[in-house]
Amino acid sequence: MSVDQATVRKIAHLARIAVSEAEIPHLQNELNSMLHFVEALASVDVEGVEPMTSVMPMALRIRADVVNDGEMAALVTRNAPQSEDHFFLVPKVVE
């Protein structure tokens, strides 16, 4: 696959990138290099290779899904201008 100059202009327009006419040949070469690299990757035989998220085998740490109040209500409301029974007090704004 190869990108022509009209396609470079269209990509720049869709990406909302201002590209001068002098930059188009350079960008064309850059895009073509990227596409050739992707084509080379497509030719790699990955038959039998398991998908992985890391080179080191790891298992996710799972914690119990327990609902609690965080046991820090006093700490959270300590810096509030006004609080009562671990709730923030705010001025009434709706009549």
Whole-model pTM? 0.51
Bigger pLDDT: 12 or 1? 12
Beta bridge partners of 84: 87
Per-residue pLDDT at 95: 77
Cβ pair 73, 86 in contact under 8 A: yes
Query: What's the rounded Cα separation, in Å, for the pair 37 and 29?
Result: 12
Would you list the domain boundaries of the chain?
Answer: 5-42
**pLDDT (tens digit per residue) in 34-91:** 999 999 998 899 899 888 888 888 888 898 888 887 888 888 898 899 999 989 999 8
For the chain, the residue count is 95
Per-residue pLDDT at 53: 80
Distance of CA 20 to the CA centre of its chain: 30
